[in-house]
Amino acid sequence: MTAETTPPIATREHTVEGFVREFLRELNFGQGVDLTRASVNDKYLAMARTVRHYLMTRWLSTLRSQAKLQAKSVAYLSAEFLLGRQLDNALLASGLEDIVKEGLASLGIDLEELRQAEIEPGLGNGGLGRLAACFIDSLATMNVPSIGYGIRYEYGIFKQTFVDGWQVEKPDDWLRLGSPWEFPHPEAAVKVGFGGHVEQYQDDDGVVKRRWVPGWSVLGVPYNYMVPGYDAGRVNTLRLWSARATRAFDLEIFNSGDYAEAVRAQTFAENISKVLYPEDSTPQGKELRLQQQYFFVACSIKDFVDQVLPADFDLHKLPDRIVFQLNDTHPVIAVPELMRVLVDEKGWEWDEAWAVTKQCFAYTCHTLLPEALEVWPVELLGRLLPRHLEIIYRINDEFLAELRVAYPNDELRVRRMSIIAEYPVRAVRMAYLATVAGTKVNGVAELHSQLLRDKVLDDFAAYWPDKFTNVTNGVTPRRFVKLSNPGLSGLITEAIGDGWVTDLDQLKGLEPLADDAEFRRRFREIKYANKQRLAGVLAERDNIVVNPDTLFDVMVKRLHEYKRQTLKLLHIVSLYEKITTGELAIGDVTPRTFAFGAKAAPGYVMAKQIIGLINAVGRTINDDPALEGRLRVAFPANYNVTLAETLIPAADLSEQISLAGKEASGTGNMKFMLNGALTIGTDDGANVEIRQLVGDENFFLFGLTEPQVAEVVERGYHPSAYYETNLDLRNALDLIASGAFSGGDRAVFEPIVSNLLNEDRFLALADFQAYVDAQARVDAAYADTDDWTRRAVLNVARGGFFSSDRSMRDYIERIWHTYPVAPEA
Ligand SMILES: *Cc1c(COP(=O)(O)O)cnc(C)c1O
């Protein structure tokens, strides 16, 4: 199409009157209600669609320019995208905030009420899914062509409730009031096969080939979401797949007269995208999970090859056009899938296909825990994806042959590196497959990447030293500062201008202001207001009363033994024990609010016990009149992105106390730093980099280092020795064991106590004293309020490195080699 005949794209009028007109049109013609009778949900839906319209011009021009330029893109393949609420972010990205506030006010509508009506899409478990959401935000803001591919779970991460302090899960029916942010395209559904067998045949030239004959199939329906960049950047696309039964499948059964069976088959197919698995860092190896993984990557590759690329595209040039970033091992089945498409469907030679495939992927590893590395039994994989198993075997055979040439006398090493594990059952190591196929393998913080090279994937790092790299995680300053902390954002902008929102290194400009008493006073005022705001939310949402005049000590993250919520709890119990025995006068204790937020995987019994204990200790402390206004435990249920956005800006102290060598990076730690909390933490994950940047004097470091942990474990760790020699620790554990927090019933928390005394896999007892000592340093530092504020300001000023924009620049330079392309005006 020539420039003259290019059809125009509609635009909207960026004025209060223009907005009001669009809004009323959506309310009347879209929702079919009159303003006087509209429910909050009607108004929210109309509002969402109106804002969406304002972003549409940029989205369409992004798509148009991408179709024309065919610039190299990133396809971010992730089983999770923990997006958080969309309305605020869309308002920010469209620059409509002021217009909307004024327009709604003129109609007598409270924007805040509409904000609260939004149910966040919880399509992820925790850090990994939130990282994906931060990354696509940064890519759009930085004008980098990209597409996110994932699953549109009908039920996201469960809603956590507490019954008598115990976690009870409720389904997360996030779609029930409508989902105004998505664009379904059922006409563009793609078909994905499962099961069946592989057959041999002769092609037209008489060459013997193999092809997959699936036993059943499902349809993947794409749902598109806008990913709006901040301030006139691109609006990229997030494409989530929803499973539907194929027509052929149910009709066949229906025609045979079995109506019930046809319906059952339909339900079976649609189960694939029904629910997000709630395990974080502990895959259960369930068949449906592998179905989900193959479902979304097969849909995505087919979509990219057949829909996104032009019809005449030469697939030999695929690596110039796309890089598939594998967010952990969940999408790694994409590697044999691309091979299958090229060899079986496009008729390529194996070597030709492998040469292209191995240039198209890069792999991000997110863990160090052995139990988190996905391994699929050959029996299961072969039953569900027989052709893929063959392809994996061939990839492995050729890889092992290559290794035998490189290491002619080291068969042991060759076997260690095999993609196929032999024990305890024959299984495919997905991390190894990703490492063999990827151009790059990255860890997510310096220490983590080092440990990947030295421990988890050491043989591979020896063989391919250049394949390994680090990209330290980051968080988007749009959501986690600008939107969540408007007070602080305003103060920063007043001091250094608003360039920081897209160039977070500019926060360095705040450093001199740490020494400015007036700036500190205003900074402190904002922190106080954030605490009041949180107090209001907790009162309303959870019926929890907190005192803003206390130190807000916050630990929010998934509940996992390696993160060591129990260590925090032992500190609290020890304090309480000393107060009740009179060893410590309540007047000498720094008034603190201990806030927790954490979901436990429903099948993770110990984690759920720990939640029960936190709540039980909390109840005891909170009910003690002597402690009122001075010590409180606040554990709001259902920690999610929305709650994070009010909790984190209110925090004074950020708890990042995982056992060294276990937390890959952490991103919660970064959010706290950027909101002016000081960190108490171990030398783990990105804490290491936080401490380097903020300086030892502004970070409360404690605990064993990773090499020390390795040494202790090597020597043989005996937690009971700490119990026997540390009186405070013994008193705290004895108090729990005595039933003091369980109405005298000693059995209730016995599993926690005996686990700590006998096993303590994550060395909480070994680090207890160091942690308590570090907390004493916190108390001393907090006593000098003004100096604490100075350090808090320095945390913000030195946190710019942790923008996900910087992470994206690192990926682009070290891994992707893509370029920004601004949308056409
Ligand atoms: C940032 C974030 C996380 C990750 O927290 P970590 O402390 O890094 O584990 C988990 N859940 C939510 C809702 C988050 O916003």
Distance CA 485, CA 501 (A): 12
The tens digit of pLDDT for each residue in 57-67 reads 999 999 999 99
Distance CA 517, CA 788 (A): 12
Position in ligand 1 atom list of the atom nearest CA 640: 13
Distance CA 285, CA 291 (A): 11
Position in ligand 1 atom list of the atom nearest CA 563: 9
Supply the residue whose CA is at minimum distance from atom 6 of ligand 1: 668
Position in ligand 1 atom list of the atom nearest CA 667: 8
Q: How far is the CA of 129 from the centre of ligand 1 (A)?
A: 9
Tell whether ligand 1 has an atom less than 6 A from the beta carbon of residue 667. yes
The tens digit of pLDDT for each residue in 14-41 reads 899 999 999 999 999 999 999 999 999 9
Reported as a pLDDT band with limits 50, 70 and 90, residue 660 is very high
Q: Where are the domains of the chain?
A: 29-69+95-118, 70-85+120-472, 544-783
Supply the residue whose CA is at minimum distance from atom 3 of ligand 1: 127
Distance (Å) of CA 326 to CA 79, 412, 431: 10, 29, 10
The tens digit of pLDDT for each residue in 690-727 reads 999 999 999 999 999 999 999 999 999 999 999 999 99
User: What is the average pLDDT across 89-98?
Assistant: 95
Q: What's the confidence (pLDDT) of residue 251?
A: 64
Q: What is the DSSP annotation of 380-395?
A: HHHHH-HHHHHHHHHH
Residue 801: closest CA among 481, 494, 483, 508? 508
Q: What's the confidence (pLDDT) of residue 1?
A: 45
Reported as a pLDDT band with limits 50, 70 and 90, residue 280 is confident
Position in ligand 1 atom list of the atom nearest CA 556: 7
Supply the residue whose CA is at minimum distance from atom 4 of ligand 1: 127
Q: How far is the CA of 494 from the centre of ligand 1 (A)?
A: 29
Reported as a pLDDT band with limits 50, 70 and 90, residue 246 is confident
Element at 102 (helix H, strand E): helix 97-106
Tell whether ligand 1 has an atom less than 6 A from the beta carbon of residue 130. yes
User: 440 catalytic, yes or no?
Assistant: no
Residue 337: closest CA among 383, 380, 295? 295
Q: What's the confidence (pLDDT) of residue 4?
A: 57
Query: Residue 254 above 70 pLDDT?
Result: no
Query: Residue 367 above 80 pLDDT?
Result: yes
User: What is the average pLDDT across 428-437?
Assistant: 98
Q: What percent of the chain has pLDDT over 90?
A: 93
- The tokens describing 114, both together, are 């509409």
Instruction: Lowest mean pLDDT of 109-113, 132-136, 247-251, name the range.
Output: 247-251
**Residue 703 DSSP code:** S
Tell whether ligand 1 has an atom less than 6 A from the beta carbon of residue 126. yes
Distance CA 650, CA 647 (A): 5
User: What is the average pLDDT across 750-770?
Assistant: 98
User: What homologous superfamily does CATH list for 70-85+120-472?
Assistant: Glycogen Phosphorylase B; (3.40.50.2000)
User: 439 catalytic, yes or no?
Assistant: no
User: 571 catalytic, yes or no?
Assistant: no
User: 563 catalytic, yes or no?
Assistant: yes
Angle between helices 565-580 and 727-737 (to 10 degrees): 90
Q: How far is the CA of 598 from the centre of ligand 1 (A)?
A: 9
Q: What is the DSSP annotation of 575-638?
A: HHHHHHTTSS-GGGSPPEEEEEE----TT-HHHHHHHHHHHHHHHHHHT-GGGTTTEEEE--SS
Distance CA 619, CA 617 (A): 5
Q: What length is written for the chain? A: 825
* Domain 70-85+120-472 identical in fold to domain 544-783: yes
Give 103-143 as a 3 state SS string. HHHHCCCCHHHHHHHCCCCEECCCHHHHHHHHHHHHHHHCC
Q: What is the DSSP annotation of 159-180?
A: EEEEETTEEEEE---TTTT--T
Q: What's the confidence (pLDDT) of residue 433?
A: 98
- The tokens describing 811, both together, are 């990926």
- The tokens describing 541, both together, are 């949402």
Q: How far is the CA of 240 from the centre of ligand 1 (A)?
A: 22
Q: What's the confidence (pLDDT) of residue 10?
A: 78
Q: What is the DSSP annotation of 439-468?
A: S-EEESSHHHHHHIIIIITHHHHHH-GGGE
Residue in 435, 646, 667, 789 annotated catalytic = 667
The tens digit of pLDDT for each residue in 113-140 reads 999 999 999 999 999 999 999 999 999 9
Rounded mean pLDDT of the chain? 96
Q: What is the DSSP annotation of 173-229?
A: -TTTT--TTEEE-GGG-EEEEES-EEEEEE-TTS-EEEEEE-SEEEEEEEEEEEEEP
Torsion, Cα 701 706 709 714, to 10 degrees, reads: -170
Instruction: Lowest mean pLDDT of 272-276, 317-321, 366-370, 560-564, name the range.
Output: 366-370
Query: Residue 257 above 80 pLDDT?
Result: no
Tell whether ligand 1 has an atom less than 6 A from the beta carbon of residue 557. yes
Tell whether ligand 1 has an atom less than 6 A from the beta carbon of residue 474. no
User: 590 catalytic, yes or no?
Assistant: no
Class of domain 544-783: alpha beta
Q: How far is the CA of 498 from the centre of ligand 1 (A)?
A: 26
Give, for ligand 1, the residue of 369, 473, 558 to mutate: max count of ligand atoms closer than 8 Å to Cβ.
558
Sign of the C-alpha dihedral computed for residues 189, 194, 197 and 200 taken in this order: positive
User: 558 catalytic, yes or no?
Assistant: yes
Tell whether ligand 1 has an atom less than 6 A from the beta carbon of residue 123. no
Q: How far is the CA of 230 from the centre of ligand 1 (A)?
A: 22
The tens digit of pLDDT for each residue in 164-210 reads 999 999 999 999 999 999 999 999 999 999 999 999 999 999 999 99
Q: How far is the CA of 81 from the centre of ligand 1 (A)?
A: 12
